[in-house]
């Protein structure tokens, strides 16, 4: 592959690796493409934030772009990328037709992050106090948009094996359009394990998660109202530290020192916070994808208690680094047991390290991914010929979305 191959990433937001797993994921993808010799430009219509990463430090060009504005056409023509990566389906909806029109030979990739339609359908089922069924996805408006986006792209990067299977079985998406690429981590060696704080040096429980993400806010409410009182009754000296970026006023109001329920807000270094804790609590009741907070716990040697949704697609056939349960009383019981029993705690820690080293180490994926990208770039015409549904959607989208966007642009003038 040409060493000056250009990659354009169209970001939903500017990457904030210290604020969310999505930000960390984006930096991993940038690193992966850098290693392949790509020259990378990152463009986004989002506002700058105080916590965004300095892309220049990673030798990534940063460009601000606008929605519904033909100035993007000029930018992409001049850049002429060989590969375009859309960060979430919303960016493909907005800019995909412009990419197809101005750079028809560019390989179009979609990083789904997680399946938004799955997360929203599960959230709706939860709010309606009923069990989620896969048929719920068929009436979810976002599913129609997201699946159309997946079909229009040449390849979608999937973070969860469960979601790959769901797309293939429920939506009949061709295998050739999906690519499993989870979080990409460095291996953990024995010397690093020995440097981690040991059982006796750790104390208290921790929850960590970006509060702009509804499943995290719901989990914190669940902890406050139901789970934490059961744990606190048996471990009166402990506290639960709640960390996360962008806490709203309703989150901050949950802070209660007397109950040992402490809203700590954003942390500069999430790993340091998790390393100091003895157990991570993550009672997620809906959601999708794989959970960065739980992988982070494993990297820090901190056992966790989570739900079936929390652990979904994360550990394969390997034992969890703690416990998985959807029962409230059981959740509190196993959390207390993990907190008090050093033998069980150490075994849980080892389980987590094994999960990282066998399922998420970067070198397990980088060469295959490089080969896949090279193959698609070399055989793009043939690849697209086999994706008739995608070509049909691209044809109609180019017409409808294009004229809607042009109308909005004229209206904005």
pLDDT above 90: percentage of residues in the chain: 86
Q: Band of the pLDDT at 1, cuts 50, 70, 90?
A: very low
Task: Scan for tokens 């043939």, then name that residue.
Answer: 382
Average pLDDT rounded to a whole number, residues 225-251:
96
Average pLDDT rounded to a whole number, residues 245-272:
93
Q: Is the pLDDT of residue 296 over 90?
A: yes
* pLDDT of 400: 67
Phi, psi of 205 (to 5 degrees): -110, 160
Condensed to tens digits (0 to 9), the pLDDT of residues 73-89 reads 999 999 999 999 999 99
Six-digit token string for 135? 């048929």
Contact status, residue 65 vs residue 44, Cβ threshold 8 Å: yes
Query: d(Cα 364, Cα 356) in Å, to the nearest integer?
Result: 11
- Estimate the share of the chain in helix, then strand, then coil, as percent rounded to the nearest 5: 50, 15, 35
Average pLDDT rounded to a whole number, residues 46-56:
94
- Measured CA to CA in angstroms, residue 363 lies from 182, 185, 186, 252 at distances of 12, 9, 8, 41
Query: d(Cα 261, Cα 259) in Å, to the nearest integer?
Result: 5
* pLDDT of 398: 63
Q: Band of the pLDDT at 95, cuts 50, 70, 90?
A: very high
Contact status, residue 379 vs residue 372, Cβ threshold 8 Å: no
Condensed to tens digits (0 to 9), the pLDDT of residues 261-280 reads 999 999 988 999 999 999 99
Q: Is the pLDDT of residue 153 over 50?
A: yes
Query: Under 8 Å CB-to-CB from 72, ≥6 apart: which residues?
Result: 43, 65, 66, 95, 98
pTM for the whole structure: 0.92
Task: Scan for tokens 């029962």, then name that residue.
Answer: 327
Q: Band of the pLDDT at 114, cuts 50, 70, 90?
A: very high
Domains of the chain: 6-184+362-412 (3.40.50.2000), 190-359 (3.40.50.2000)
Condensed to tens digits (0 to 9), the pLDDT of residues 314-365 reads 999 999 999 999 999 999 999 999 999 999 999 999 999 999 999 999 999 9
pLDDT above 70: percentage of residues in the chain: 97
What integer best gives the mean pLDDT of the chain?
94
Q: Is the pLDDT of residue 396 over 80?
A: no
Residue 218 Cα to chain centre, angstroms: 18
* pLDDT of 2: 44
Q: Is the pLDDT of residue 3 over 60?
A: no
Quick one: three-class SS letters along 13-47?
A: CCCCCCCCHHHHHHHHHHHHHHHCCCEEEEEECCC
């Amino acid at each position: 592959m040409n060493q000056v191959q250009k990659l354009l990433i169209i970001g939903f937001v500017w990457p904030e690796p210290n604020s969310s797993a999505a930000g960390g994921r984006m930096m991993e993808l940038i690193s992966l493409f850098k290693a392949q010799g790509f020259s990378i430009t990152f463009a986004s219509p989002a506002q700058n934030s105080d916590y965004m990463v300095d892309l220049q430090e990673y030798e990534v060009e940063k460009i601000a772009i606008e929605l519904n504005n033909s100035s993007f056409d000029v930018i992409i023509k001049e850049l002429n990328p060989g590969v375009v990566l859309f960060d979430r389906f919303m960016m493909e909806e907005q800019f995909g037709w412009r990419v197809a029109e101005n750079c028809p030979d560019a390989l179009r990739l979609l990083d789904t992050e997680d399946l938004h339609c799955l997360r929203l359908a599960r959230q709706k089922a939860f709010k309606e106090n009923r069990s989620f069924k896969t048929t719920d996805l068929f009436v979810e408006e976002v599913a129609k948009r997201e699946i159309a986006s997946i079909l229009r792209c040449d390849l979608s990067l999937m973070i969860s094996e469960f979601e790959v299977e769901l797309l293939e079985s429920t939506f009949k998406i061709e295998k050739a359009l999906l690519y499993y690429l989870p979080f990409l981590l460095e291996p953990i060696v024995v010397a690093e394990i020995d440097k981690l704080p040991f059982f006796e040096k750790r104390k208290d429980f921790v929850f960590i998660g970006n509060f702009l993400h509804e499943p995290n806010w719901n989990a914190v409410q669940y902890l406050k109202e139901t789970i934490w009182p059961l744990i606190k009754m048996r471990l009166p000296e402990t506290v639960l530290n709640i960390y996360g970026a962008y806490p709203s006023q309703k989150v901050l109001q949950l802070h209660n020192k007397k109950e040992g329920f402490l809203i700590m807000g954003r942390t500069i270094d999430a790993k340091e916070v998790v390393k100091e804790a003895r157990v991570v609590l993550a009672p997620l009741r809906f959601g999708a994808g794989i959970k960065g907070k739980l992988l982070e716990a494993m990297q820090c040697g901190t056992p966790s208690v989570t739900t079936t949704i929390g652990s979904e697609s994360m550990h394969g056939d390997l034992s969890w680094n703690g416990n998985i349960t959807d029962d409230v009383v059981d959740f509190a019981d196993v959390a207390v047991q993990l907190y008090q029993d050093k033998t069980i705690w150490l075994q849980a820690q080892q389980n987590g390290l094994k999960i990282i080293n066998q399922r998420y180490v970067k070198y397990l994926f980088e060469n295959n991914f490089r080969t896949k990208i090279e193959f698609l770039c070399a055989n793009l015409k043939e690849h697209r010929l086999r994706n008739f549904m995608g070509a049909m959607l691209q044809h109609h989208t180019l017409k409808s979305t294009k004229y809607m966007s042009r109308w909005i642009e004229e209206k904005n003038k």
